[in-house]
Amino acid sequence: MPGPARRDQPLTVHHLNQLLLVSSVVLLVAVAAVRISSRSGLPSLLVYLGIGVAMGQDGIGDIHFNNAEMTQVIGYAALVVILAEGGLGTKWKEIKPALPAASSLALVGVAVSVGVTAAGAHYLIGLEWRQALIIGAVVSSTDAAAVFSVLRKIPLPSRINGVLEAESGFNDAPVVILVVSFSMAGPVEHWYVLLGKIAMELAIGAAIGIAVGWLGAYGLRHVALPASGLYPIAVMAIAVAAYAAGALAHGSGFLAVYLASMVLGNSKLPHWPATRGFAEGVGWIAQIGMFVLLGLLVTPHEMGDDIVPAIVIGLVLTMVARPVSVIVALLPFRVPWPEQTLLSWAGLRGAVPIILATIPMVNEVEASRRIFNIVFVLVVVYTLVQGPTLPWVARKLRVGGDQEAADLGIESAPLERLRGHLLSVAIPEGSKMHGVEVHELRLPAGAAVTLVVRDGTSFVPLPTTVLRRGDELLVVATDPVRDAAERRLRAVGMGGKLAGWLGTGNGTTNR
């Protein structure tokens, strides 16, 4: 047969050329599709899934792909990168107050959601309990990629963003353990055994993630690398190492990479804007590759009988399981009902449930293909419903974000031999540093504004030079006062020249 003969042929440069051409075209189409998704409010994951389906055996590409093992491995790798990018962009000041509520949602909320969804799948659809529990566990995890990409475009209060982002970063770990346990041959472990296993893996993953992140941040802050382009590579390598170390130690690698990235992202590392840009680009590539591959794995003509069950289970999940899990998990925190309603509706699903649905396929669980099809249809249908309507729901509930002054973009480059740092400070639109004179910055002794770049022209400022939006400042600060200088700059950017005196900001340092 021609197919096997082609597979037996060794890879050549010609094959590489074909692969590079197809990959570049797919990436360009996916990048162009982001503009469409951003205008329509649809999560980009649906566009990427559509590209994969179009390339598959039922589409114009006629590519036959059914390797669940490869999809699972690549999906895990992509999820590591996505969690790393999300952790790097998570602000500690927003997530810190949300940690108790997010942890409760990731543990208690997941347990309630799994039970309610599994009961609905069993009694309404007629699935066996093992299959129902697998589906309940698979779809009870909110998706980090969907949450990070959608919620950061919606002006929600920081406490709600913090809860949702932390929940999506935390709940992958217990859900993976549940899905693997339900998919293994033999009887399911007792609930207390599962609970102990989840607690142990979470503890190991958290400890390793925090330790690796702290060590990595310490090293990058105290060792000047010869090129600025090495810092983004080092940061991503540290994040991936945290995942691998956590997984090899029989802990939660997903929790480890998220926490390590969060520690790195809040450590004021050198050349941070470049690192964020690099991580964001790698994250987009991971999302595109993962979703396209998942689309290739789908066989649309086999899904006809699974559409109605997927819609029914999705209704149970969206209208019953998620709201009940939010109410139960947040009961100790006295969250207002409009915020609980929004948290219920914002439990976005995406690639993570579809990736987790490959686990029973790899373990050859009975009816695993049907489980995958149901999960795929559920994710697509309810992402189409929830994603675009989330801003409308937030407006109707009158839950909106506060308008805050724009934060400064500060990039730090270490001056190793001088034992100092060169801070590049960009003043954005909306910053309250506009109109402030240089001497009114009141930087600590050992820090000074040495240069201002305005409209393409650079000049040495006087103490009376008035700063404007769009200016870029070069600030030299010695090691002991670097953090204090950065805190003061951010405080003035948020509160103006009276920051500190009027209780705005926390970085006031007088000469």
CA atoms of 53 and 56, how far apart (whole Å): 5
Domain boundaries, the chain: 41-59+73-396, 409-495
Residue given tokens 């979470």 in the structure block: 202
The pLDDT of residue 505 = 47
Residue given tokens 């449930």 in the structure block: 353
Mean pLDDT for the chain overall: 83
- At residue 363 the predicted structure's pLDDT band, cuts being 50, 70 and 90, is confident
Residue given tokens 């590489």 in the structure block: 16
The pLDDT of residue 412 = 67
Do 409-495 and 41-59+73-396 fall under one CATH topology? no
CA atoms of 281 and 77, how far apart (whole Å): 15
Pair 150, 348: CB distance under 8 Å:
yes
Topology of the domain comprising 41-59+73-396? Na+/H+ antiporter like fold (1.20.1530)
Q: What tens digit of pLDDT does each residue of 425-484 get?
A: 888 887 888 889 998 898 988 889 989 998 888 899 998 999 998 898 989 888 888 888
- At residue 324 the predicted structure's pLDDT band, cuts being 50, 70 and 90, is very high
The pLDDT of residue 194 = 77
Q: What tens digit of pLDDT does each residue of 381-424 get?
A: 888 888 778 878 888 888 765 545 556 666 666 666 567 788 88
- At residue 38 the predicted structure's pLDDT band, cuts being 50, 70 and 90, is low
- At residue 41 the predicted structure's pLDDT band, cuts being 50, 70 and 90, is low
What top-level class would CATH report for the domain 409-495?
Answer: alpha beta
Beta partners for residue 447, in sequence order:
477
Residue given tokens 């309250």 in the structure block: 432
* Mean pLDDT confidence for 310-337: 93
CA atoms of 157 and 104, how far apart (whole Å): 19
pTM: 0.76
The pLDDT of residue 6 = 47
